[in-house]
Amino acid sequence: MPVILGIESSCDETSAAICADGVMLSNIIANQTIHEAYGGVVPELASRVHQQNIIPAVQQAILKAKVSKNDIDAVAFTRGPGLLGSLLVGVSFAKAFALAQDIPLIDINHMQAHILAHFIGDNKPQFPFLCLTVSGGHTQIVLVKDYFDMEIVGHTQDDAAGEALDKTSKVLGLPYPGGPLIDKYARLGNPDAFKFPEPQIPGFNFSFSGLKTSILYFIRDNEAKNPNFVQENMPDICASVEKRIVTILLNKLEKAAMAYGVKDIALAGGVSANTGLRLGIKELADKHGWRSFIPAFEYCTDNAAMIAIAGHYKFLQGEFVGQQVAPLARMPF
């Protein structure tokens, strides 16, 4: 019954989790509010706050799991992709902890871990399945053949869906992080109030730069006619933008699922917390008689539980790394 300590520090959440025989015993996430004043994540500030949070987060994870540090059989950590300074804090801590305890190290790809979050708990997809992975920096459709046998079959050619949401929120004058606020306003608005274009990109790939520009011009032109346009129409604007982003994502996922003949479709990444997207993938699955899988909210955004469960499966395969391991800002999938 392997006990795995998971460490996540790829961006602006410091997280630690304990997994025992594939069962999550704890998942501690320390968020960073310092970036709100700057309208986005400041890498240098993020790495400094990780240094403050990493030891308390690990200590809380161990206490909540009701284990001792001597019970831990291996340390799994996010090696990449992510902000190099932030990754360095988590990697350095993992290496020091493993060295002190004389236990093995397991390096984890952050994007693969988002997908493997579906294996926390009892409701698990069956291989092969398609996973739509959507975050602030990535938008991918991944064909998952086994725990670590994954193929990217579609990806964004420019901006990620999360970036489109964040940049829209800035244009609308919403504070950072804007994605949850767009979600909140969208629940109150009419998704058919305004029409935005759907990019015509071949295959299963995405593009959000054109949509982002069209939203910018839409706001600019309407504010020229009515300076209070955004304030008066905020719910409808958010609902219409969200609907277009969701339809872009799900139309490609539907196309890919039909092409590959899979019956299980899944959602992962920070944007998978969006209400419209969660409802949309369920409706898509119901339409075709497929099964849909969405992680619990605490496993959608960056968290160490997904690192720990990925580490669990690597531990079973005996895949370890040595003390010479270094973080990778860009890590091959």
Residues in the annotated binding site for Fe cation? 110, 114, 302
Give yes or no for a contact between 54 and 89, defined as CB atoms under 8 angstroms apart: yes
At 52 the three-state DSSP class reads: helix
Binding-site residue positions for substrate: 133-137, 166, 179, 183, 274
Helix pair 179-186, 229-260: axis angle to 10 deg: 100
How, if at all, do strands 129-134 and 264-268 pair? Answer: parallel
How, if at all, do strands 139-146 and 149-155 pair? Answer: antiparallel
Tokens of residue 141, six digits: 């459709």
d(CA 108, CA 314): 9
Tokens of residue 270, six digits: 């920070």
Give yes or no for a contact between 1 and 20, defined as CB atoms under 8 angstroms apart: yes
Phi then psi for residue 112, to 5 deg, are: -65, -35
Binding-site residue positions: 110, 114, 133-137, 166, 179, 183, 274, 302
Give yes or no for a contact between 32 and 13, defined as CB atoms under 8 angstroms apart: yes
- Could you give the count of Cα atoms lying within 13 Å of 41 in the half-sphere of its Cβ? 20
d(CA 191, CA 82): 33
